[in-house]
Structure 1
Amino acid sequence: MTTKSTLTSDDWIKAAFRALTTGGVQAIRAEAIARDLKVSKGSFYWHFKDVPDLKAKMLAHWAREATDAIIAEIEAVEVTAQERLRLLVHAATDERSLPYGGLLTDGAVREWARFDTMAAMTLKSVDERRLGYIADLLGHCGFSSSESRSGASALYGALIGLEALAANGLADLRGDLLRLLEALLGSRTSR
């Protein structure tokens, strides 16, 4: 059996996200997650005060890892704004979400936000950050302010919808997003 000292809070957070993606917010329970991790429930309290503390840390972790870390990673590469947009699509569709529940993770957070104020506030902040970043990159590609906002909404909205379709095998998430991005970029250069 794993001991509390070998598990990190990130291990618990990843397991909690897996519980969220498979069973909804009601599945985020210390005992059930401890069973999944094959540790005692006491190990949970080594890292978290209680389940609400875990949930708050999950949301902060999600905002940091699924948004801020990706943006920092892309900004660290010296390439054009168009190439940054392509890198963003690759990052949004790579396997980094697998330990958290895969393609269903963001959708599960969206569902959680429908019924929880803290989750809703975090989701709104993340959505604003992501949309702003995409719009900024589109602005650097020569789009006007209104075109950048519309393009960001279209690309980000497509990501949200295509994740749900891809989870059911009904879309090629990366391929479809890249084709949409190329069409969007092509609309700017064909004028």
Structure 2
Amino acid sequence: MLTRDHWIAAGFDALDHQGYQGISAEQLARRLNVTRGSFYHHFRSRDEFVHALLTAWEADYADRMLAHAAAGSSLEDVLQRYLTIAAEKRPQRETAIRAWSRIDPLVAEYQQRVDQTRLSFAISACRARTDGSVDAELVGRMVHLCLIGGQESGERSMPAIFGQRVQQALALLRASSFRPS
């Protein structure tokens, strides 16, 4: 029996392989080998489907991701987990949603909320695990931008190497005479 979850999984598969252009009732129905009417049996509209799809994405790519990162034992461990888990997620999905958010206000709302949640987490982790000599907001923002840049640049295909580079950068920052201006 086909459920809403099947449709959402098909939506994620479309994002992973076709980008946001694959998100239509017709294309998803073909992907599931059912009629388009089945889509409207589970969702009243495309917007309702998009809300359900992006709510699932937000739960996985923000809430669960950050819970995993928060379990780190040190700042370096927390931030490495933050970046590594993001790198290990399906990169096409994240890139597709970011591209989609540029043209769809509903998607932009979700993307902005996920970005803000992630940024707030990175800054809070830095504040909680550094002394006053480090500008926690600056470091948190840099790490957050590394997450986005790593996803967009292709570094995401090498999560272990990317995580090591972040650890090296944090070690250099700690060892330097870094003083916020």
TM range (shorter): 0.7 to 0.9
For 1:32, the aligned partner's letter is Q
> Please, which of 21, 40, 43 is the counterpart of residue 26 of structure 1?
21
Of the three residues 114, 118, 121, the one matched with 2:109 is 121
Q: Which amino acid aligns with 1:156?
A: H
TM-score, length-scaled by structure 1:
0.78
CA separation of 1:106 and 1:144: change in aligned 2, threshold 3 A: farther
Aligned counterparts of 1:145 and 1:130: Cα–Cα separation in 2 = 23
Tell me the CA shift for residue 144 of structure 1.
4.6
Matches within 5 A, 1:41-190: 41-75=36-70, 77=71, 79-94=73-88, 97=89, 102-142=90-130, 144=132, 147-166=135-154, 172-190=158-176
Distance (Å, rounded) in 1 between the aligned partners of 2:131 and 2:104: 36
Question: Given residue 180 of structure 1, which amino acid in structure 2 is its aligned partner?
Answer: V
Aligned length: 177
Contact 1:34–1:41 under 8 Å retained in 2: yes
Name the CA shift for 1:56/1:160 in 2 (closer, same or farther; >3 Å). same
Partners of 2:171 and 2:104 lie apart in 1 by: 37
Task: Please tell me whether the aligned partners of residues 19 and 92 of structure 2 are also in contact (alpha carbons under 8 angstroms).
Answer: no
Scaled by the length of structure 2, what TM-score is found? 0.81
The 3 A distance-change label for structure 1 pair 123 and 69 is same
Cα distance in 2 for residues equivalent to 1:161 and 1:57: 27
Identity across the alignment (%): 27
- CA RMSD for the aligned pairs? 2.6
Following the alignment from structure 2 to structure 1, what is the Cα–Cα distance between the partners of residues 131 and 29? 49
Query: How has the CA–CA distance of structure 1 residues 185 and 149 changed in structure 2, closer, same or farther, with 3 Å as cutoff?
Result: farther
Deviations 1:47-71 (A, max 9, x none): 2112111111122221111001222
Query: Moved runs in structure 1, 4+ residues, more than 6 A?
Result: none
SS at match of 2:146: helix
Judging changes above 3 Å, is the alpha-carbon distance between structure 1 residues 24 and 109 closer, same or farther for their aligned structure 2 residues?
same
CA distance 1:17–1:24, change in 2 (3 Å) = same
Tell me how far apart the structure 2 counterparts of residues 71 and 48 of structure 1 sit (CA, whole Å): 29
- Cα distance in 2 for partners of 1:162, 1:40 equals 39
Gaps of 5+ in 1: none
